[in-house]
A and B are shown apart, each in its own frame.
Chain A
Amino acid sequence: MKVQSAMFYFPEEVIEHIFSFLTHHPDRNTVSTVCKAWYKIERLSRCEVFVGNCYAIRPDRAAARFPGLRSLTLKGKPHFADFDLVPPDWGGLAGPWIEAMARSCPNLEELRMKRMVVSDESLELLVHAFPNFKALVLVSCEGFSTDGLAAVARSCKSLRELDLQENEIEDRGPRWLNSFPDMCTSLVSLNFACLKGEVNLKSLERLVCRSPNLKCLRLNRAVPVETLAKIMNQCPNLEDLGTGSLLADQFSEAYVSLISALQKCKKLRSLSGFWDASPLCLLAVYPICANLTGLNLSYAPTVQGQDFINLIQHCVKLLRLWVLDSVGDKGLAVVASACKELQELRVFPSDLFAAGPATVTEEGLVAISTGCPKLNSLLYFCHSMTNSALITVSKNCPNFTRFRLCILEPRKPDPATNEPLDEGFGAVVKTCKNLRRFSISGLLTDQVFYYIGKYAKALEMLSIAFAGDTDQGMTYVLNGCKNLRKLEIRDCPFGDGALLADVTKYETMRSLWMSSCDISLRGCKALATKMPSLNVEIINEWEAEMEENLNNGVAEVISNNNNKHINNGNDERKVEKLYVYRTVGGPRTDAPDFVWTL
């Protein structure tokens, strides 16, 4: 009691100072709910805001609540948009957010966006509205061109970070690199690896010359070895390098200067790129391997077999490794023996259909788990997997926080026993108490969901495809996983029963995605009626079907009026794609025709 009343007499500045030690945004969200005074203090002093779903709140409301905002993180489209399951023009527009921030939050310094649509105009507005703007990170975004990048380069006086990862950028020429200011820039991090077009190499070299603070530089494929060597000579303090094309002639001057340049870079810790890497260029990399903590070879199909082995055996301090499956089980065995500190491994497929002689199998995974007990994050694409392998892996590595296994052929059973993989994945959830992200594949019955619901108490994100037998599977997960935030399901036989089993659950989650399942319009309508705090959106292609029926002589009215479509015809129609998310912003105002909010 005494303590409580004492808190009331603390001046606001003291409480604000106390809050400044809370950086984790869930903690800040919690303190803001204690009382009105704390809500006010918290919101005025908040510097970083994370919005996991850009439609969960209206932009102007967020901007008005946090006028002192300095850093904003936004996520737009659902995760399955990465795999072309969400139609273009679905939404996720950055424009309204940038405009709202421009009106209310002049102190904005950092903007990080993932899966959003950003226009060149928005980028112009961004750099003109915020005088202190320092960092722009765009991941899997689209809608802008190199002209937008030029605007950012030109107008942003104190730009420190321009990080473009996996974006779809329209290439309007290489001139954007010239747009950086002529005097020294404050650039610390520049990543344009996803740009597909040419770059002006002279401009790039000059830019690097006048950027003394550069620590992270990731080039695109158009940058040849000669330029890379010149750049490396200019910045020996580089810590993170993404190479351009590593195609070089052994006796060329470029190759020789690359070797000497790389040797000078004592601080280099992370390497990526390796486009078209010839084995010779790999030799140049050997001297720095011993200090590497991160290595990304996933865009280098030329690095395989003995070349890979020769390279990786030097990388004893490696923490993060991304490779293609063409390194084979043999390559993974060498990784297991050399990289004892490994924490994150991603193995991407190099051939989608044939399991060639050198691709990875469950043996590679078991070898890794035996050799690298610190492994906590895994993304593994393979052609087959066995229960016993998974059980062994989970015994060897109980520290998994992210475990994603993708067996390329849907519904494939354990080839040794012909059984489903329930026991294998079950073992993973039983032993890995800290599992936060889980993706499963192969032949799976409701049993695996029983295990997930029972044991995966820390699970936050679950991705399911081609799995399960009955509604019970999904129900196990909804009932059991208390911390579930994102659930995405495709091609599973879950129907209305599963969808409506626990409707209040969705209010505790960020979002639910279901596509090609067994749910009907009736079920979705029921959900929308019961839970007004959720946006229940369906993405439909029924319009085209209706046109067909018309031509066949069946009388239907074709119109773009959503209500007519929703209420016309029968509710038993199967819903192809459903996206449900909690929101305080009401139904979307920018939803395109094919998205119906029920």
Chain B
Amino acid sequence: MKTIQFETPARQENAPMMHESVNHLDLSLGISSSNDACNYKNAPKTAKRMISFQTEPIDASPAYKKCVSVSSRMAFDYSYLFSHCPTGFVDPWSLAARQQKAAAEQAHLKANPNPTSSKIAMEPQQAPVVVGWPPIRSSRKSLINQNLTKSCTIDGKDSTLKSEKLAETKDAAIRLELRPTLYVKVNMEGFSVGRKIDLSAHNSYESLSRALQNMFCNFLSNKLISKDAHANANNSEFILLYEDYEGDKILVGDVPWELFLKSVKRLYITRHSSAQEKAGDGIKDSQKEEANHLNDCSN
């Protein structure tokens, strides 16, 4: 069972400060709400409890001094922001929850926070979230989340900040379910010293390849990868492989991200030409794209 602690610096009820810390820290942490064990412990707070959180001054209230999980904090402040979380915490029909929602919305408008959070708050898909509703199994709920994530990322970089944040938090939530950290070794061909990367800190192949590029750009200094950003598919030099449970080397990118995380043990970056010789067959478009990403040494 995971409990993530944090303390807000400013002790003000519904203060913008709290919103900010939530926006920066907690959005990137993601919510542990998908982790059922953790979630259950904190989730079903009765309406009465919510009132007690809200009405007591923060400095005096022992509740704030306790270790409070991120998820219950989320429930208190932002149950309507993260309405896409499959398991929510607040009975929306309780008077306290509705008071809370009104207070949270007012605080948003008052404090005039950054556009991100207001977008999230004004999300038309806002709907009250109830524990265990609708009555579908968690395997189906996670399928729905995956599907929504995919449609968000498919929209590309033009998608609103809102859907990206939602996708990140959903993926973050799914990740937390899998493992807390997943450090794997990354070895580049020709170098005896490798690096380590935390795969659980990424939610997609794009993010992983970006991170690897950054890591190995500096690693290699100026010699092997040209700083010329106009590398195209034909010039792609490197290929990303991974080693699985059985010791086989497999090209990265074929299986869904979550499945990849389950089976990956190590990563290898090899040169395109040598890998081609070993493979024998032609390389598909998706693979070329992967190598392309690697070569594209963006900041």
Number of interface residues of B (CB under 8 A): 49
Contacts of B5 in A (CB 8 A): none
**8 A Cβ contacts from A372-388 to B:** 381
Establish whether residues B262 and A548, one from each chain, have CB atoms under 8 Å apart when the complex forms: no
Which of A82, A85, A298 contacts B131, CB < 8 Å?
Answer: A85
Assembly CA distance A230 to B46 (angstroms): 55
Establish whether residues B259 and A83, one from each chain, have CB atoms under 8 Å apart when the complex forms: no
Contacts of A463 in B (CB 8 A): 135
Q: Which DSSP category, helix, strand, loop or mixed, fits chain B's interface?
A: loop
Q: Which DSSP category, helix, strand, loop or mixed, fits chain A's interface?
A: loop
The interface bits of chain B over 54-97 (1 if a CB of A lies within 8 angstroms of the residue's CB, else 0) are 00000000110110000000000000000110110001010000
Query: Is B180 close to A, CB under 8 A?
Result: no
Assembly CA distance A352 to B138 (angstroms): 13
Nearest CB to that of A174 among chain B residues? B245
Query: Is B230 close to A, CB under 8 A?
Result: no
The interface bits of chain A over 351-378 (1 if a CB of B lies within 8 angstroms of the residue's CB, else 0) are 1111000000000000000000000000
Query: Is B24 close to A, CB under 8 A?
Result: no
Nearest CB to that of A198 among chain B residues? B263
Nearest CB to that of B53 among chain A residues? A548
**8 A Cβ contacts from A96-124 to B:** none
Contacts of A166 in B (CB 8 A): 137, 139
Contacts of B127 in A (CB 8 A): 352-353, 409
In whole Å, how far is A379's beta carbon from the nearest beta carbon of chain B?
10
Establish whether residues A408 and B134, one from each chain, have CB atoms under 8 Å apart when the complex forms: yes
Establish whether residues A548 and B134, one from each chain, have CB atoms under 8 Å apart when the complex forms: no
Assembly CA distance A491 to B246 (angstroms): 50
Which of A80, A84, A548 contacts B138, CB < 8 Å?
Answer: A84
Given the contacts A84-B36, A84-B87, A200-B246, A221 and B259 also touching, CB distance less than 8 Å: yes
The interface bits of chain A over 518-552 (1 if a CB of B lies within 8 angstroms of the residue's CB, else 0) are 00000000000000000000000100010010011
Given the contacts A87-B40, A353-B127, A410-B93, A381 and B136 also touching, CB distance less than 8 Å: yes
In whole Å, how far is A244's beta carbon from the nearest beta carbon of chain B?
11
Establish whether residues B62 and A83, one from each chain, have CB atoms under 8 Å apart when the complex forms: no
Establish whether residues B134 and A349, one from each chain, have CB atoms under 8 Å apart when the complex forms: yes
Query: Is B50 close to A, CB under 8 A?
Result: no
Contacts of B84 in A (CB 8 A): 352-353
Query: Is A454 close to B, CB under 8 A?
Result: no
Assembly CA distance A574 to B93 (angstroms): 17
Query: Is B148 close to A, CB under 8 A?
Result: yes
Establish whether residues A196 and B132, one from each chain, have CB atoms under 8 Å apart when the complex forms: no
Given the contacts A83-B133, A197-B259, A301 and B147 also touching, CB distance less than 8 Å: yes
Query: Is B173 close to A, CB under 8 A?
Result: no
Given the contacts A348-B140, A353-B83, A552 and B134 also touching, CB distance less than 8 Å: no
In whole Å, how far is B81's beta carbon from the nearest beta carbon of chain A?
13
Which of A82, A140, A299 contacts B135, CB < 8 Å?
Answer: A82
Nearest CB to that of B132 among chain A residues? A83
Establish whether residues A197 and B125, one from each chain, have CB atoms under 8 Å apart when the complex forms: no
The interface bits of chain A over 32-52 (1 if a CB of B lies within 8 angstroms of the residue's CB, else 0) are 000000000000000000000
Query: Is B201 close to A, CB under 8 A?
Result: no
Contacts of A545 in B (CB 8 A): 49
Contacts of B148 in A (CB 8 A): 351
Establish whether residues A351 and B144, one from each chain, have CB atoms under 8 Å apart when the complex forms: yes
Contacts of A552 in B (CB 8 A): 62
The interface bits of chain A over 68-93 (1 if a CB of B lies within 8 angstroms of the residue's CB, else 0) are 00000000000010111101100000
**8 A Cβ contacts from B94-153 to A:** 124-125, 127, 130-141, 143-144, 147-148
Establish whether residues B134 and A381, one from each chain, have CB atoms under 8 Å apart when the complex forms: yes
Which of A249, A353, A548, A576 contacts B63, CB < 8 Å?
Answer: A548
Nearest CB to that of A86 among chain B residues? B40
Q: What are 30 A-to-B residue pairs whose CB atoms are below 8 Å?
A: A80-B132, A84-B40, A84-B132, A88-B36, A171-B262, A173-B245, A174-B245, A174-B246, A175-B245, A196-B258, A197-B263, A221-B259, A276-B256, A299-B140, A349-B136, A350-B144, A352-B84, A352-B127, A353-B83, A353-B84, A353-B125, A353-B127, A354-B125, A381-B136, A466-B93, A548-B62, A551-B63, A551-B66, A552-B62, A576-B46
> Which residues of A line the B interface, CB within 8 A?
80, 82-85, 87-88, 140, 166, 171, 173-175, 194, 196-198, 200, 221-222, 249, 276, 298-299, 301, 348-354, 381, 406, 408-411, 439, 463, 465-466, 490-491, 516, 541, 545, 548, 551-552, 574, 576
Please give 16 more A-B residue pairs, beta carbons under 8 A apart, in addition to A301-B143, A352-B127: A80-B132, A82-B135, A83-B135, A84-B40, A140-B137, A222-B259, A349-B136, A352-B134, A353-B84, A354-B124, A406-B135, A411-B93, A466-B93, A491-B93, A551-B63, A574-B46
> Which residues of B line the A interface, CB within 8 A?
36-37, 39-41, 44-46, 49, 52, 62-63, 65-66, 83-84, 86-87, 91, 93, 124-125, 127, 130-141, 143-144, 147-148, 244-246, 255-256, 258-259, 262-263, 284
